[in-house]
Chain A
Amino acid sequence: MEYKLTYEKYKEALIGGKFLGLKCNKCGAYTVPPKKVCLECTSEDMDIVEISGKGEIRTFTVIRVPPEGFEGPYIVGMVELDEGPWVMGNIVDLDPDKAGMDLIGKKVTTGHKVVKGDKFSAGDGVALAFSLQD
């Protein structure tokens, strides 16, 4: 079976304001980011669905020594989506020096930011951008 939700398709949708994932028709689990098969039951029978982007911060770090091509400091976090999966992205709209343990458990919404690629990245990419819910 053809790869259902490729990175290219996922990226273009995200840039267009839609956060896509996969929902399994067999067990109901969500697979985000996409994979060839359902993360829970390995079924290929999944539909492309729009993900709410709502979730809770599970952990974070502030990158102060960045890789070549990035400028620190910035916050990277893992969010547990309401749909279940964990995803990685940047926590934005917050001064990195104010990031502390109280971030964990905070509710967020998800947007995106386009990231300029380097000679190893196969072009520009896109990162999830989490904003704290008021």
Chain B
Amino acid sequence: MREVAVVGVGMTNFGISEKTQIEMFSEAAMEAITESNIEPRDIQALFLGNVLGDFEEGQMNMAPMCAADIGIPNIPATRFEGACASATVALRDAYMWVASGFYDMVLAGGTEKAMVMGTPMATRTFAMGSDSRYESFAGITFPGAFGMAAHLYSKKYGIPLEKLKEQMAMVSVKNHKNGVLNPKAQFRKEITVEKVLSGIVIADPLQLLDCCPFSDGAAALVFASADKAKDLTKKPIYIAGTGQGSAGPLHNQKDFTIVKSRVISSQQAYKQAGIGPEDIDVCELHDCFTIAEILAIEAMGFFEYGKGSQASEDGETALDGKIPINPSGGLKAKGHPIGATGAAQAYEIVKQLREECGERQVKGAKIGMTDTLGGDLATVCNIIFRR
């Protein structure tokens, strides 16, 4: 395998968009292509994350349409679906195809337009990530799965639920605080613990501000072989390691406070990079719910199992903390257009490692990591980037 670098990135604003999924992707893609100092015709393949395009716009097989919209209708263009991890799964495959030598330059990213569905339909389609035969008929929802994780966590570690809910609220407060500093974020205002704890309950014990929003948006990256990258950009950001793990339906996972798919995935990525969690300077991870961030910082090895909620309370994940988590505002504040999320996380890490993040810059960051989760903890995909 040869060295691969990201040579250009692009991203739309996240929130509500008037544009189609294809239009949003094209904006992000052309930004990434222009930044890479190449033309669309230099791209050899497209790897596209998209989850619910069929339901959102009645659009299946979106990848060839996206390629056509940026003037390269004849390249292999493929949609990747791993629920909310779709874009990272696409990015990882893009990386591997370039690393293998099969391609020299590929475009990867994702797009999603969830707002148009409205909450009942969006909740229905997001819940399609559960086992449709053996779980979905119980009416489980995505927040419901993480609500169950929060109760498990409280019980397992003997942290009274009221205490845990305060610590979870602090995750949301922190991510909103970071989001204020991100001009592309869906929510750019600070909130308080009191405000989180007074929100409507979505799925016990998760309240409104424990949950990320539905969002529209797109993001894209250009991957090139290291040889090519040196000629294209002064600031190539290299892929140091990747991993991907699965864990089947929720009922098979038993105690899902330890996210097995993530343990497997992150260990693969660390091993390939030849580093450990202590070497990561900045991380964008999957805070679809406040408890999800706590589970993630544990399974990725930043904190011991059962200590993630206390670490969050202690500010260890803040911009100036031991390991800055979600400087972009995370899914919570930046927004979560599910098919694009992993690419947006990679966009942030690349910008951080290039030191282009302004007020939310993690000073001197040299190694960054993304973490994206799909379905009921069924898919986790990690990428480690370095300068």
Contact = CB atoms under 8 A, between A and B. Distances in A.
B148 A76 contact: yes
Interface size classification for chain A: 35 or more
B252 A39 contact: yes
Contacts of A125: 133, 136-137
Given A59-B148, A62-B201, A76-B144, A86 B123 contact: no
A33 interface: yes
Contact of A68 (B124, B140, B155, B252): B124
Given A60-B151, A104-B151, A85 B251 contact: yes
Interface size classification for chain B: 35 or more
A29 interface: no
A76 B200 CA distance: 18
B137 A68 contact: no
A54 interface: no
Given A33-B134, A89-B138, A128-B138, A65 B123 contact: yes
A90 B203 contact: no
B207 to A, nearest CB: 10
A107 B147 CA distance: 21
Interface hub of B127, B136, B145, B204 (most chain A Cβ within 10 A): B204
Nearest to B138: A127
Contact of B138 (A62, A68, A69, A90): A90
Contacts of B143: 61, 65
Contact of B202 (A64, A69, A85, A122): A64
B136 A63 contact: no
Interface in B45-83: none
A67 interface: yes
B141 A121 contact: no
Interface string B269-289: 000000000000000000000
Interface of B: 119-121, 123-124, 127-128, 131-141, 143-145, 147-149, 151-152, 154-155, 161, 200-206, 250-255
Given A33-B134, A62-B204, A67-B120, 9 more contacts: A33-B133, A59-B151, A61-B204, A67-B127, A67-B139, A78-B148, A78-B251, A89-B138, A127-B139
Interface of A: 7, 33, 39, 58-70, 72, 74, 76-78, 80, 85-90, 99, 101, 104, 115, 118, 120-122, 125-128
